[in-house]
């Protein structure tokens, strides 16, 4: 395992660029650890090195955990790609692994969204009984876990799934003062509006008097101009 981890790090360092690193750091309010690679480079490295791994989910997830421990955004990105690659092998017991990653290692919106949109979102589609756990996440003190409760449902929301649960999570996060949480649940509502525009619009209209404007703007972004104007009217 150490040999593979060392190879990942060596490839990232070899392809790193100081200009890309400096540019990437400007996207975050919080400090982030970056080598300095573009997404396309990370995807290529992840794809090429994955070909050399044994098709063993437990082994791959252990590798992913080691990459998460580094704290480098590029390494967590590879971990997210590799864990998603194992999606056909997911079983209910894997939730505890994914939950640990969210609680222990996620420290910025990029790693939160990449992990949740793909790995955890796919898991929830496979095992929707774990929607109850997302609602528990929405009640934690950790801003990234709260954001994760919403952004996990972005892709299912676009596909018209879990609308009742989406509204329940939006209710739980409704008045959160953190802009990362507001943007997260607003994005979730926006995604849901692609399949359920009227239902999301009606929800927003009922909540708009108390919904933070950041969340409101995100939620209605894909709606027609006339509906956006109604929703934004004081």
**Residue matched to tokens 């990105």:** 77
Q: Which residue has the higher pLDDT, 1 or 70?
A: 70
- Three-class SS string for the chain? CHHHHHHHHHHHHHHCCHHHHHHHHCCCCCCCECCCCCHHHHHHHHHHHHCCCCCCHHHHHHHHHHHHHHCEHHHHHHHHHHHHHCHHHCCHHHHHHHHHHHHHCCCCHHHHHHHHHHHHHHHHHHCHHHHHHHHHHCCCCCHHHHHHHHHCCHHHHHCCCCHHHHHHHHHHHCCCCCHHHHHHHHHHHHHHHCCCHHHHHHHHHHHCCCCCHHHHHHHCCCCCHHHHHHHHCC
Give the pLDDT of residue 58. Answer: 97
**What is the b/e burial string over 103-137, where b = at least 16 CB atoms within 10 angstroms of the residue's CB?**
eebbbbbbbbbbbbbbbbbbbbbeeeebbebbeeb
What confidence category does residue 231 fall into, taking pLDDT thresholds of 50, 70 and 90?
A: very high
Cα(26)–Cα(20) distance, integer angstroms: 10
| Dihedrals phi, psi of 221, to nearest 5 degrees | -60, -35
Instruction: Dump pLDDT digits (tens) for 75-129.
Output: 999 999 999 999 999 999 999 999 999 999 999 999 999 999 999 999 999 999 9
What confidence category does residue 192 fall into, taking pLDDT thresholds of 50, 70 and 90?
A: very high
Instruction: Dump pLDDT digits (tens) for 118-135.
Output: 999 999 999 999 999 999
What confidence category does residue 234 fall into, taking pLDDT thresholds of 50, 70 and 90?
A: confident
Percent pLDDT > 70 in the chain is 100
Task: Work out the mean pLDDT of the chain and round it to a whole number.
Answer: 97
Q: What mean pLDDT do residues 154-180 have?
A: 98
Q: Is the pLDDT of residue 1 over 90?
A: no
Give the pLDDT of residue 46. Answer: 97
Cα(141)–Cα(146) distance, integer angstroms: 8
Cα(219)–Cα(217) distance, integer angstroms: 5
């Amino acid at each position: 395992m150490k040999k593979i981890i060392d190879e990942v790090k060596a490839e990232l360092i070899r392809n790193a660029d100081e200009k890309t690193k400096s540019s990437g750091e400007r996207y975050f309010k919080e400090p982030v650890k970056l080598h300095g690679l573009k997404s396309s480079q990370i995807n290529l490295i992840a794809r090429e090195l994955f070909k050399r791994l044994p098709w063993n989910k437990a082994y791959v997830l252990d590798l992913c955990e080691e990459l998460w421990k580094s704290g480098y955004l590029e390494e967590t990105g590879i971990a997210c790609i590799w864990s998603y690659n194992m999606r056909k092998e997911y079983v209910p017991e894997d939730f505890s692994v994914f939950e640990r990653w969210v609680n222990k290692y996620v420290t910025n919106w990029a790693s939160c969204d990449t992990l949740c949109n793909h790995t955890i979102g796919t898991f929830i589609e496979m095992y929707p009984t774990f929607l109850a756990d997302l609602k528990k996440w929405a009640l934690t003190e950790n801003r990234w876990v709260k954001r994760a409760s919403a952004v996990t449902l972005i892709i299912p929301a676009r596909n018209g799934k879990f609308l009742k649960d989406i509204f329940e999570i939006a209710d739980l996060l409704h008045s959160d003062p953190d802009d990362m949480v507001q943007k997260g649940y607003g994005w979730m509502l926006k995604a849901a509006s692609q399949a359920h525009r009227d239902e999301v619009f009606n929800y927003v209209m009922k909540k708009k008097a108390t919904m933070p404007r950041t969340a409101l703007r995100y939620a209605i972004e894909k709606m027609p101009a006339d509906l956006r104007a109604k929703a934004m009217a004081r």
